Amino acid sequence: MNEGQNEGINKRFCGNCGKQIPLTAKFCIYCGQKIEGWEDNSQKASKIPEQKKVVKRESDVEDMSFVAYQTLEPGEVFFDYKIIQLQGKDTDGVRYLVEKDGKRYVLKMFFQYKYSNLENIITMQNWIDRIQKLQHPNVVEIEEINYNSDPVYMVTELVEGMSLAKIKTSNTSLLTESLVRDIAKQLVSAAIEIHKLGLSIKNLSLNDIMLDPVAAKIIILTDGITYENTDERDEVFHIGVLLAQMLSANKLAETIYNDELLKEHKFTYIPGITLGMNKVLAECLHRNILQRYNSLEDLLKGLNALVSIEKDAVYELSKANMQAEDISSTNVPEPKKSRDWIVFTIIGIAVAAIVIFFVLNWSKITKYNGTASTWVSSIEDEDTLTGEYQEIAIFNHRDTLKTRNSNTANIRVDPRKAFSAQNQSSYSGSSGSVKIDTSPNKTLFVRVPDGTFGFTRLKENPKHNVVQNGFYMGKYEVTQKEWNQYMKPANVSFVGDNLPVDNVSWMNIVRYCNARSEAEGLNPTYTILGNTASSVTCNFNANGYRLPTEAEWEMAAKDGYLYTYSGSEDADEVAWYRENSGRRYRTVGYQKKPNAYGIYDMTGNVAEWCWDWYSEDYPNSLTEFVNPRGPSKGTLKVIRGGSVNNGLGTNLSVVYRTKGDPTKAYPFVGFRLVRTY
């Protein structure tokens, strides 16, 4: 525990990138960020400036300057915690050994970049919320977290013992298979609880696991726990990597057994380890995710089912000169049998169903009282349909293509009108169709036409893969004035009637949508049965206000083009973002061009909530290709568009996706409305 005792004297670290910088630097020599609040006097270089005053981060602060962290000296006091010594730093912040009321703790002060933009704020807040709920005997105990201070800090219990990484380098013989088996069970048990809270151990290293050799107990530090939605089978794989590193006697164990290498090359049995344990590792580390343990629970069962070391055979190389690539062919269990026939059977059934569907529905489209001839438009003029509209018409014909009566049997509805059938009245005699105009105010909403587009695809793969019905979308982000008409005023970042509302939760937004729909005589779209997002259902046929689906949002943002930003390749033409806004959002539609559909601020200003549940694999796992509405369940909701906290690049792209807890409100996250037509 004495490492880094004297490291902190007269040192500064960049608040943005975390790297050590000279005491007199005005700018970080690594990332270029300007350093505010420090004396620029070489004669006073050795003088340690006063500790930065800790203040609550108010929402109306115009600029969030990057500040260097001056390390604290032993004896200084930080929020009633007396500094004993600097322990070190990592990519997230600086750690100190501290004392309070006669008890010792570990204090971690986070670098400012961890909460300097929208994505980092959301990630940190969700991480903090979940990590505080984590109660497990093999995870470090959290004493305090203060998110309202600057810098944000966290205090944890002081863990006695040594890290597994240090034991691996200094006392390898201690890591016997018997001990590693015990460690593995504790690690998996903790990983199960961590995963349940939406956290992950994918980045966990041996440095983040402390071991008390006497009690044979491990404690996982928070540094190795991240806020990330991962597949359990990937967690299984990473645990296999850590166990292989512990069990291997090779000095290059961390090089041989790492995630990247083992996903490319077949796992080779570890000499000197029992066959049973090697088989468990082989099933953890299979390159095909479908061949691994299905869950962490299954891995724990596999570990508990291992026979004792004394009763198991130890794997040894049969030849002294055997090469590493030959190991896998010796006593390696047979791979699991393929179930390709099941896949092919399902595909066959699906193809047959599609063929039957088209045959049955084609007969409905082309047969009207036994006569069929030419398409006649319901708007009094003939119109040749393109192949795209013919295909979409088949997908969406529903019940809109019906005979009128005996004297109009050969007249059919233009398939393009099938998309808005819910807004049309039925036919009456020979007078033709009567359409009820329920469209919203054209000064506030635009009509986004039906179409196809490449969901989350940009220039590298513009192929269209999704069919989306048209809809009405708000030209502008919902303003504070609009919000305050129906809801309690939000704790916005900047106050102004025509500024976009932000810092509002997804749950309160759906309540707002229903309230506004009822006030304007429209049918509310949402049914709300509780206080969680899973209790909310949406009637997409209702004509009331709602949030856009992720597909609707992206199609509207792309406006038929493949620009990086909504409406242009030049972000300055269409967006307020970090470099041109001073981190202040602007009046909706202010001084920036709309996209081709006439929609403003879909890139930048404030980011925007969508209807869909968030999944990291979506839309790669897309199963709906007509009007997709996201995964059927989840814990987080999608946020799109970027904000004034984002700089040029990926985070402002029209295909960039992030997420947030639907019950929480975030600065610089607002929304815009859509309606079905």
Asked if residue 96 has pLDDT above 90, the reply is yes
Asked if residue 335 has pLDDT above 60, the reply is no
The average pLDDT across 284-297 equals 90
Phi, psi of 64 (to 5 degrees): -105, 85
Residue 83 β-bridge partners: 98
CA distance 610 to 672: 9
Asked if residue 19 has pLDDT above 90, the reply is no
CA distance 303 to 277: 8
Picking from 63, 76, 56, 1, the residue whose alpha carbon sits closest to that of residue 37 is 63
Using an 8 Å Cβ cutoff, are 522 and 543 in contact? yes
- Given 1.10.3720.10, 3.40.50.300, 3.90.1580.10, 3.20.20.80, which CATH number is that of 447-676? 3.90.1580.10
CA distance 159 to 139: 10
Q: Is the model more confident about 36 or about 470?
A: 470
pLDDT score at 464: 63
**pLDDT one-digit tens code per residue, 142-182:** 999 887 777 889 999 999 889 999 999 888 889 999 999 99
Burial per residue of 513-532, b for 16 or more beta-carbon CB atoms within 10 angstroms, e otherwise:
bbebbeeeebebbbeeeeee
Asked if residue 333 has pLDDT above 50, the reply is no
- In 10 A of CB 441, how many CB atoms? 10
Picking from 154, 153, 149, 171, the residue whose alpha carbon sits closest to that of residue 162 is 171
Q: How far is CA 27 from CA 38, 62, 246, 453, in A?
A: 11, 21, 42, 44
349-355 long-range contacts (CB < 8 A, ≥24 apart) are none
Q: What is the mean pLDDT of the chain?
A: 78
> For residue 27, what is the DSSP state?
B
Q: State whether the Cα torsion 63-668-657-469 is positive or negative.
A: negative
Domain boundaries, the chain: 12-112+143-152, 162-329, 340-415, 447-676
Class of domain 162-329: mainly alpha
pLDDT score at 641: 94
CA distance 128 to 345: 46
Assign 39 a pLDDT band (cuts: 50, 70, 90).
very low
* Cβ contacts of 137 within 8 Å, gap of 6 or more: 217
Burial per residue of 414-429, b for 16 or more beta-carbon CB atoms within 10 angstroms, e otherwise:
bbbbbbbeebbeebee
Please name the residue that has the structure tokens 């608040």. 15
pLDDT score at 467: 86
Beta strands in 147-221 (DSSP E): 153-157, 162-163, 199-200, 209-212, 217-220
pLDDT score at 351: 78
CA distance 475 to 481: 16
Assign 484 a pLDDT band (cuts: 50, 70, 90).
very high
Using an 8 Å Cβ cutoff, are 13 and 94 in contact? yes
Q: Is the model more confident about 318 or about 112?
A: 112
Asked if residue 472 has pLDDT above 90, the reply is yes
Cis peptide before 619 (omega within 30 of 0): yes
CA distance 494 to 479: 12
Using an 8 Å Cβ cutoff, are 120 and 113 in contact? yes
Structure tokens at 388: 């795209």
Q: Is the model more confident about 511 or about 261?
A: 511
pTM of the complete model: 0.48
pLDDT score at 343: 60
- In 10 A of CB 316, how many CB atoms? 11
The average pLDDT across 659-671 equals 93
pLDDT score at 477: 97
pLDDT score at 30: 59
Using an 8 Å Cβ cutoff, are 218 and 183 in contact? yes
The three-state secondary structure class of 626 is strand
HSE-CB at 202 with a 13 A cutoff on CA atoms is 16
CA distance 455 to 467: 10
